[in-house]
């Protein structure tokens, strides 16, 4: 396979063009000047076309001096333009948002552009905002969970599990910067504000060579660049949070800025109730995040961007009292909590060497920190004596990255383009650190936990070409290396994806990819707390590897109004890690390496997706059939067991219907096979005496439970329906809307976890704990568009 791919690469690089003229430029939003990523440009006469890259740039060869071109993008009206050429020409296109969604598709054109990509899905911010949301918080990761091959972890969670992989195997990029913890509110919301996002691409298989470092998926999220033409503001006021985005030109058509923020306020609203019910104890939770981006166009060939994101969650409990009488003074203060957050920054330079060669260079910074803390103060004083006790304990973990990558897009001709580049990341791992100070300190044996430094390198070449009129091949090599302490790991990863166009509406696709991952996430199996530890490969812990094969068929129906795809896949995963039995992150007497079991996994299945993308009524139906297993020598007596999120059947139905210009309704229904769990199957009586009362104390029986094989049982199936209705209203200053949504419309009692209880006569039962019942919510959204002067 590796030698064959190399031959393909060298053959394709020698493939040359006989075209006479080339047009290139950018495809943009007419109202805002935003680049439209993935917009299509098409010449119907020759049935040739191309798509804009991640920065809106396109390059197209024309074999004649005149041509009629069609430029389109989902949600926008198609532009048709007749052009005359005298040599190479630069033409920028601007598209306007369509009043009627049905106008977007031009019948009988662009079949190849619609049927090319393997195991890839593109989602716009409009898709995200149209779906009913938990507590009114629209969420990009919740939308991704509704796609086939992508599963949620548990009720309400924004964690995603793609084709049998774990949460650490998803490369989540925000403007090209890795985000290590993408969750707010213990996993129930993601950190991505939909108002600041332009589009999202999800890659589940057939990975292009430019991506690396993870096994299961790439979620590439692009922030808006900012309106280049006019100032505008978007925002919303919801049940638990509010948000505001402001964007506009610093210099019209030359420089722009966007600032976007969001914060919950449930801690402020609930504080009086909580204090009244907990004897004046402050108990609260909040999260906030902020996005900012500036871009400046120096010339037609040079553009720079600076973007940043910061977000933080904090759960806290505060208690204090002071009592004073004639003979003594008592003071007590205590605060404990959990806080975690991300900080990312990207500085990017785009340069156009020619109408065929495009350069993107990006410097990145990413930091994730988790902190668990407790601090207390106690003072007791009398006229003759004083006692003061201080206590402070902190457990923290995190990872920091500094990166630099350079990427080139080289367009040889309409059927042949190259991507190549390099990437370097300097990692600083802080798997776990514990600080303890107390006036009454006792000896605690805590292992030395100094930071671990890692250097990750990668280089890639990706070639997309058409050796035959109906056959397109994307072949590439991704080579990577990782240096940590005295260990040096290397990996050579071939990738190939093919598409054969049977006719203009039907294509066959197949792909093979090898992936390597030098990071591990040591995760607890319970609720989605941010206590998961990012750890590097070491001498004892090897890199993760995967090999994935996928085949599929895609079809356009009714002149492109509908599309349908079916894919099957098989994936092998090696060197996975899990906690050993009885270990967890708070076991401080041993290092994290001693808590780990190493094993393998494999998954296979089939995915079905049917979509109606245009018109007043649109949506999709997705279905996944999957099998997902693990094998660890140190777990389950070495026997194979199903992964916790081995979900045999997963169904999602998403609908959106525009009743009129003012009213719109939307709904979702999801179904999933219950998660795998381990349950006690027998109770062994104690060897000692039976429980008894003595001296006012109860002495238990110390019964021992015998457990089933790992994940041998299933929770009940999960299903629910969500519904939303929105009323739009045009204003002199812009527009507004009210959205009322209901989460879990028919009040399904879905399992969150199973609890074991024993009654007074010794009978043991299993009780299902449900998290969310029917939850109504409302959101007021507004778009402020001041009239141009």
- DSSP assignment string, 365-390: EEEEEEEEEEEEEEEEE-SS-EEEEE
- Alpha-carbon distance of 409 to 58, in angstroms, equals 10
CATH code of 15-108, in short, is 2.60.40.1120
Q: Which residue has the higher pLDDT, 353 or 709?
A: 353
pLDDT of residue 7: 47
pLDDT of residue 438: 67
Beta-sheet strands, E only, within 558-595: 562-579
pLDDT of residue 268: 63
The lowest-confidence range among 226-240, 249-263, 266-280, 717-731 is 266-280
The lowest-confidence range among 107-116, 291-300, 624-633 is 107-116
Contacts of 671 (CB under 8 A, 6+ apart): 649, 650, 651, 652, 717, 718, 719
pLDDT of residue 388: 82
pLDDT in tens, 414-469: 778 899 999 999 999 988 766 667 666 555 555 556 888 999 999 999 999 888 88
575 token code pair: 């060197």
The helix (run of H) or strand (run of E) holding residue 140 is: helix 140-145
How many whole angstroms from its chain centre is CA 677? Answer: 25
The lowest-confidence range among 176-180, 184-188, 477-481, 503-507 is 184-188
β-bridge pairing 177-178 and 183-184: unpaired
Q: Which residue has the tokens 């949460």?
A: 167
DSSP 673: P
Q: Which of 149-158, 173-182, 515-524 has the highest mean pLDDT?
A: 173-182
Domain boundaries, the chain: 15-108, 122-675+715-784, 676-713
pLDDT in tens, 40-83: 888 887 777 888 888 888 888 887 778 888 888 877 888 888 88
C-alpha pair distances (Å), 663 with each of 134, 634, 659, 724, 728? 21, 58, 5, 11, 6
Mean of per-residue pLDDT scores for the chain: 82
Give which of 51, 47, 79 is closest to 63, Cα–Cα: 47
Classify 122-675+715-784 by CATH class: mainly beta
């Amino acid at each position: 396979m590796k030698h064959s791919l190399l031959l393909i690469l060298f053959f394709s690089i020698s493939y040359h063009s006989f075209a006479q003229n080339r047009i290139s430029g950018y495809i943009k939003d007419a109202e805002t000047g935003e680049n439209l990523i993935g917009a299509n440009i098409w010449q119907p006469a020759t049935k040739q076309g191309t798509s804009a890259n991640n920065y809106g740039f396109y390059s197209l060869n024309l074999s004649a001096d005149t041509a009629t071109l069609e430029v389109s993008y989902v949600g926008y009206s198609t532009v048709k333009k007749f052009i005359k050429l005298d040599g190479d020409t630069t033409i920028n296109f601007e598209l306007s948002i369509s009043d009627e969604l049905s106008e977007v598709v031009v019948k009988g054109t662009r079949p190849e552009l619609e049927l090319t990509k393997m195991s890839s899905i593109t989602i716009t911010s409009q898709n995200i905002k149209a779906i009913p949301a938990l507590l009114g918080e629209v969420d990009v990761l919740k939308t991704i969970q509704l796609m086939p091959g992508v599963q949620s972890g548990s009720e309400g969670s924004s964690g995603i599990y793609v084709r049998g992989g774990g949460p650490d195997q998803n490369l989540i990029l925000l403007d090209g910067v890795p985000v290590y913890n993408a969750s707010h509110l213990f996993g129930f919301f993601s950190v991505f504000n939909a108002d600041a996002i332009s589009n999202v691409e999800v890659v589940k298989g057939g990975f292009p060579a430019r991506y690396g470092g993870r096994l299961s998926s790439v979620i590439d999220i692009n922030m808006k660049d900012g309106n280049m033409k006019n100032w505008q503001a978007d925002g919303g006021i919801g049940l638990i949070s509010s948000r505001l985005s402001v964007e506009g030109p610093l210099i019209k058509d030359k420089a722009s800025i966007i600032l976007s923020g969001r914060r919950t306020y449930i801690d402020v609203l609930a504080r009086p109730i909580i204090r009244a019910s907990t004897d004046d104890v402050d108990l609260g939770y909040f999260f906030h995040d902020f996005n900012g981006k500036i871009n400046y166009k120096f010339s037609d060939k040079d553009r720079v961007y600076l973007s940043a994101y910061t977000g933080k969650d904090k759960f806290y409990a505060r208690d204090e009292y002071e009592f004073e009488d004639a003979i003594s003074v008592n003071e007590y203060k205590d605060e404990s909590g959990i806080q975690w957050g991300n900080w990312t920054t990207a500085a990017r330079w785009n340069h156009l060497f020619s109408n065929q060669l495009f350069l993107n260079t990006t410097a990145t910074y990413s930091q994730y920190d988790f902190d668990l803390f407790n601090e207390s103060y106690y003072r007791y004083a009398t006229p003759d004596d004083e006692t003061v006790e201080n206590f402070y304990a902190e457990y923290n973990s995190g990872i920091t990255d500094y990166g630099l990558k350079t990427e080139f897009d080289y367009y040889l001709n309409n059927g042949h383009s190259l991507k190549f580049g390099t990437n370097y990341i300097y990692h600083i791992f802080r798997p776990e650190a514990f600080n303890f100070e107390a006036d009454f300190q006792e000896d605690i044996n805590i292992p030395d936990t100094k930071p671990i430094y890692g250097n990750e390198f990668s280089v890639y070449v990706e070639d997309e070409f058409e050796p035959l009129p109906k056959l397109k091949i994307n072949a590439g090599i991704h080579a990577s290396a990782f240096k940590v302490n005295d260990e040096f790991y290397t990996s050579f990863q071939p990738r190939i994806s093919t598409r054969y166009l049977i006719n203009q509406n039907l294509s066959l696709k197949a792909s093979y990819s090898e992936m390597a991952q030098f990071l591990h996430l040591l995760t607890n199996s319970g609720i989605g707390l941010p206590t998961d530890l990012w750890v590097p490969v070491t001498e004892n812990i090897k890199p993760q590897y995967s090999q994935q094969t996928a085949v599929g068929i895609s079809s356009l129906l009714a002149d492109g109004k509908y599309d349908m795809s079916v894919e099957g896949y098989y994936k092998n995963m090696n060197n996975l890690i899990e906690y050993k039995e009885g270990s967890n992150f708070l076991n401080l007497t041993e290092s994290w390496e001693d808590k780990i079991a190493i094993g393998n996994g494999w998954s296979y299945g089939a995915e079905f997706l049917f979509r109606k993308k245009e018109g007043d009524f649109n949506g999709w139906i997705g279905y996944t059939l999957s099998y997902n297993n693990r094998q660890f020598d140190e777990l389950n007596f070495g026997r194979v067991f199903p992964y916790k999120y081995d979900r045999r059947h997963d169904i999602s139905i998403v609908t959106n219907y525009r009743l009129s210009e003012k009213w719109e309704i939307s709904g979702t229904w999801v179904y999933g096979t219950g998660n795998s769990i381990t349950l006690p199957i027998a109770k062994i009586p104690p060897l000692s005496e039976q429980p008894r009362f003595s001296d006012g104390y109860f002495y238990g029986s110390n019964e021992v439970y015998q457990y089933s094989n790992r994940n041998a049982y299933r929770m009940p199936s999960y299903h629910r329906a969500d519904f939303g209705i929105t009323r739009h209203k045009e204003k002199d200053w812009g527009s507004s809307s009210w959205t009322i949504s209901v989460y879990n419309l028919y009040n399904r009692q879905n399992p969150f976890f199973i609890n074991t209880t024993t009654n007074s006569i010794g009978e043991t039962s299993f009780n299902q704990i449900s998290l969310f019942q029917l939850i109504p919510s409302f959101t007021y959204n507004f778009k402020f568009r001041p009239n141009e002067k």
